[in-house]
Amino acid sequence: MLGLGSNITGISKVGTTIVTDNLVLRHDYKIGAVQPLSSGAADINADAAANEYIDVGVIPITTNDVSISVWVYITTWVNYAGIVVNRSSSGTNPGLELRCANGAQKFQLVIDDANGSSSGAISSTLNSNQWYHVCGVWDRSGDMSLYIDGVLDGTDDITGNPLTLTHSTATKIGQASATEMRGYVCNVGYWNAALSQAQVRSIMNKNYDSLSASEKTDLVSWWNLDSVIPDTTTFVYDNHHGGEGEVLGVELVNCNSFNCADPTAVWSEGSGWSFSGGKAIYDGTGGTSALSQSNVIEVGKQYKVIVEVLSNQGSGSNTIYLGGTVLSSSHLSVGTHVFYGATSNTNVSLYIYGRSGEVFEVGSISVKEINGNTGTLS
């Protein structure tokens, strides 16, 4: 069961060394099969169900230094269970993996070297059912450092065989190679920098709003993991790109209010669709027929979609597709409808379908990317 909550209480209660006047563990996220069981953290696989994790997409690397910081609470230690993972199984596409170690109650920071051999810094033996702050640091020279509650607790290096990280695969929180952790995570930070121990100790007692300006230098993304984006059940904010609000990209739909010189030049209208007076109109004669625009989105990114319905006479469903993802399959009432989504396949077009027997009028359609590495709960 993957779940999110609004604050940390009960089973996921943090100790006094974590909770300070400057720390309020609240989170907003995308939720798939999520229920608020953890009260302030993402509850991943607590019931041992399969395939629960948070996909935050491909994280860009601008330097060859990386640090990953996370609060984690393990209820059951599972061999090789992923905590924060961006690593392939080959040295040709190297990335980092912060995970549970094999056969022990320990955390491990792992990387594949240029020859495909894995190396890793491993912690001392830890407890179940206890919150730990874990920070893995990779230095471009090949040094690996693993901090537990701000204390250096494991090191390794591949300085004799250095490599350049690529991070070209999606980063997942809570899963590695289909092996999910069992427990809770929150306040996950990702830096293109090798943090010092002093920085690690300062960051571990903070949520995003409490970070200093210098601590946000080289910060790529931060996920509080305590709530979902409003009007969604499966999307979570990248707090470094909008906090518990939104920072949106530019409008991606050409002629989105249908008042350009020639809407037919940019929109593909199926049978029964036409344009008049700044509206897209479906007259009900074309069966299940789509109004569409191609190459609107990119695979792996999250979008906010707004559809303004001016009239809808009839009772059929009006399916809206963002690429291969169904955003809505219900009858859309008059008004403004907001959806969040990402394509589930390689299709990058936008579709809105009218149904037989309806007169369906649309005033505008907007699609904007949500900036940052927005998370998807699965």
* Residue 344, pLDDT score: 77
5 part of a folded domain: no
Of 371 and 27, the structure prediction assigns the larger pLDDT to 371
278 part of a folded domain: yes
Asked if residue 349 has pLDDT above 70, the reply is yes
Lookup result for tokens 């490599």: 163
Residues 96-105 have a mean pLDDT of 92
4 part of a folded domain: no
Regarding whether 227 and 122 lie in a shared domain, the answer is yes
> Over the stretch 167-221, which tens digit does the pLDDT of each residue have?
667 788 888 777 888 888 889 999 999 999 999 999 988 888 888 999 998 998 8
Residues with Cβ within 8 Å of residue 163, at least 6 apart in sequence: 91, 94, 113, 114
Regarding whether 194 and 256 lie in a shared domain, the answer is no
- pTM of the predicted model as reported, rounded to 2 decimal places: 0.69
* Residue 27, pLDDT score: 31
Please report which helix (H) or strand (E) contains residue 198, including its range.
Answer: helix 197-203
Residues of the chain with pLDDT > 70, as a percent, come to 76
2 part of a folded domain: no
Asked if residue 151 has pLDDT above 80, the reply is yes
Query: What are the C-alpha distances in Å from 246 to residues 32, 239, 370?
Result: 20, 9, 7
> Over the stretch 162-178, which tens digit does the pLDDT of each residue have?
566 666 677 888 887 77
Q: How far apart (Å, rounded) are the C-alpha atoms in residues 253 and 239?
A: 26
| Burial (CB count within 10 angstroms: exposed 0-12, middle 13-18, buried 19+), residue 224 | buried
Kindly give the pairing relationship between strand 54-55 and strand 66-76: unpaired
* Residue 203, pLDDT score: 92
164 part of a folded domain: yes
Q: How far apart (Å, rounded) are the C-alpha atoms in residues 374 and 368?
A: 13
Are the C-beta atoms of 188 and 339 separated by less than 8 Å?
Answer: no
Regarding whether 198 and 118 lie in a shared domain, the answer is yes
Work out the mean pLDDT of the chain and round it to a whole number.
Answer: 78
Regarding whether 208 and 302 lie in a shared domain, the answer is no
> Over the stretch 36-95, which tens digit does the pLDDT of each residue have?
333 578 888 655 555 678 888 777 777 778 899 999 999 999 999 999 988 765 555 667
Range of lowest pLDDT (120-129, 134-143, 196-205): 134-143
Structural domain of 301: 250-371
377 part of a folded domain: no
CATH assignment at residue 361 = 2.60.120.260
Residues 250-271 have a mean pLDDT of 93
Regarding whether 116 and 196 lie in a shared domain, the answer is yes
* Residue 272, pLDDT score: 92
Task: Name the domain boundary from 226, 245, 264.
Answer: 245
Asked if residue 148 has pLDDT above 80, the reply is yes
Asked if residue 141 has pLDDT above 60, the reply is yes
Q: How far apart (Å, rounded) are the C-alpha atoms in residues 290 and 169?
A: 33
* Residue 71, pLDDT score: 92
Beta strands in 261-313 (DSSP E): 268-269, 273-276, 279-282, 289-293, 303-313
Residue 11's φ and ψ, nearest 5 degrees, are: -60, -30
CATH assignment at residue 165 = 2.60.120.200
366 part of a folded domain: yes
* Residue 338, pLDDT score: 87
Range of lowest pLDDT (12-16, 86-90, 132-136, 164-168): 12-16
Task: Name the domain boundary from 196, 223, 245.
Answer: 245
